[in-house]
Amino acid sequence: MITINIAYIIAMMGIPTAITAFFIRWFEKKQEERDKSQKKKDVLVIKAINASLALGEATAIALKNGKTNGETTAALEYSKDVKHDLKNFLVEQGVEHLH
């Protein structure tokens, strides 16, 4: 006759559950990191669009008035800053995914 040990059954059921829970938590943590990076990228892309619009508007005003002004210079600087921020972020993300 087979003797059933309750502690043995509970242990055998608990080990796969613990392993599964560990991997689920690991995947959730990775997904949270990806989500955080995605949000930051989205913010930078929106800033880049805004910088492009500001530069376009300043250029249109300069063409309309026949001369460049402080708005054009400021928009160009803002555009450069945002472009570099976005580029640096994307390079950083690329390096992180290599390792």
Report the alpha-carbon angle 45-27-86, nearest 5: 15
Angle separating helix axes 70-98 and 6-65, nearest 10 degrees: 160
3-state secondary structure of 93: helix
Model pLDDT for residues 47-75, shown as the tens digit of each residue = 999 999 988 888 888 888 888 777 788 88
pLDDT at position 57 is 87
Q: What is the mean pLDDT of residues 6-19?
A: 81
Is pLDDT at 29 greater than 90 in this prediction? yes
From residue 5, how far is each of 10, 18, 82, 85 by CA, in Å?
9, 20, 66, 62
